[in-house]
Amino acid sequence: MSINIDTERAIELYKTLSTEELSQEADRVCRELYGERVFLRGLIEFSNYCHCDCLYCGIRASNEDVHRFRMSEEDIINTAVLGYERKLRTFVLQSGEDSYYTTEMLCRIVETIKARSNNEAAITLSCGIKSSSEYAELQAAGADRYLIRFETSDPDLHKYLRGGISLKRRLKALEDLKMCGFETGSGFMVGLPGESEETRINNALLCKSLELDMVGIGPFIPHPATPLKDSERYDIDMTVRITALVRLLLPEANLPASTATGTVDPLGREKALAAGANVLMPNITPKELKQYYLLYPDKICLDESGYECIGCLNGRVGTIGKKLTLERGDSLSGARRKKLQFSELNREESFV
């Protein structure tokens, strides 16, 4: 069977196969394109201040029990440079929506990390909604990728969960990011209260129609200090199945096996990697700060440095016949787009 499975067929497989069979299909597609490689990203959670009040999130503005922190510009840069010295080649800088970090500051951070990594490191930002001109400035400063999950494709549920902010606004942000030339990532949580099987399938279809380069999928884990504290906590099966469906729909995308997956099930990340995921994101935030960035409870690996985690992850991926790699790991769709633009540019030049 080829790697190009049409949408109807992918949904049929999703609806009819057991989780193990579906995972095998997705794994086959993933290996066809990415082989046994699992890309590593060094995650830096640099601020837990957020002006948003998403009902699901542990660091939402109204949670007064959170000990808030902000890393200085210098500390963010040094954390990434240390990662570069330890051979990591991609960094994800994530935060709440925190206007303390002006676009000018974020640009300076991106530019300095790029310069101090000999322009070898790819930088992904995950700092929420910004204006199209701000995204353009960040891209011009050298940021390569941007992640902003749409969370759920159900517009009413989205608005309810995100304190009145519409799904349309997040989708506009994704469109702006694409226009600026970012490798664009989005995704969703699995098991949100009010979600149905149809919502989950629509989530996967929305990923496909957005032609995403990266898709982050993780189980929703109710946080005790949020309005959703009494919501049901599901096991990992639904997340594994929908990860497999997204791999079938978007063969070329990079799909992380999220930390939340490993929180819900001790073997969650292995199960996601065996169902089409191909990325892991060890958390290299300074150890003393990690404990305060709790979007959800019971987060794993808080007592270890990200570098200790890499050793552990290496053993884990080995159990499913995969290998960690320190490459930049551009998504195949993003790389193809860049190549196209490059050849179009050359063509234009040859007419001059």
CB 4 within 8 A of CB 251: yes
Q: Minimum Å distance from CB 36 to ligand SAH?
A: 28
- Given ligand SAH, ligand SF4, none, residue 94, with its beta carbon under 5 to 8 Å by kind, binds ligand SAH
96 HSE (CA, 13 A, CB side): 27
Contact map string, positions 270 to 299, toward ligand SF4, x by CB under 6 A: -------------------------x----
Nearer to ligand SAH, 86 or 229 (CB): 229
Residues whose CB is less than 8 angstroms from the CB of residue 274 and which lie 6 or more positions away in sequence, other chains included? 23, 27, 320
Footprint (CB under 6 A) of ligand SAH, residues 135-174: 148-149, 151
Q: Is the distance from CB of 101 to CB of 71 less than 8 angstroms?
A: no
Q: How far is the CB of 195 from ligand SF4 (least distance, A)?
A: 16
Binding span for ligand SF4 by CB under 6 A among 34-42, 49-57, 186-194, 236-244: 49-57
By CB under 6 A, tell whether 157 contacts ligand SF4: no
CA dihedral (46, 47, 50, 55) positive or negative: positive
Does 165 interact with ligand SF4 (rule: CB under 6 A)?
A: no
Residue number with CB closer to ligand SAH (190 or 310): 190
Give burial (CB, 10 Å; 0-12/13-18/19+) of 49: middle
x/- contact string, 114-143, with ligand SF4 (CB under 6 A)?
A: --------------x---------------
Output 128 or 297, the one with its CB closest to ligand SF4: 128
Q: Which is nearer to ligand SF4, 50 or 136 (CB)?
A: 50
Q: Which residues contact 46 (CB under 8 A, 6 or more apart)?
A: 70, 71, 76, 93, 94, 95, 101, 285
| Residues 96-135 as x/- pattern, contact with ligand SAH by CB under 6 A | xx----------------------------x-x-------
Does 243 bind ligand SAH (CB under 6 A)? Our answer is: no
Does residue 185 bind ligand SF4 (CB under 6 A)?
no
Report what 106 binds from ligand SF4, ligand SAH, none; CB cut-off 5-8 Å by kind. none
Binding region for ligand SAH (CB under 6 A) out of 49-57, 77-85, 196-204, 266-274:
49-57
CB 53 within 8 A of CB 61: yes
- Of 118, 109, 52, 34, the closest CA to residue 78 belongs to 109
On the 0-12 / 13-18 / 19+ scale of CB atoms within 10 A, 209 is exposed
Q: Measured in Å, how far apart are the chain's first and last C-alpha atoms?
A: 45
Q: Least distance to ligand SF4 from the beta carbon of 55, Å?
A: 9
Q: Is 167 in the site for ligand SF4 (CB under 6 A)?
A: no
Q: In the complex, what is the shortest distance from the CB of residue 177 to ligand SAH, in angstroms, rounded to a whole number?
A: 12
CA-to-CA distance for 171 and 345, rounded, in angstroms?
Answer: 28
The contact set with ligand SAH (CB under 6 A) reads: 50, 56-57, 94, 96-97, 126, 128, 148-149, 151, 189, 218, 220-221, 223, 260, 295-296
Name the site residues for ligand SF4 (rule: CB under 6 A): 50, 52, 54, 57, 59-60, 96-97, 128, 295
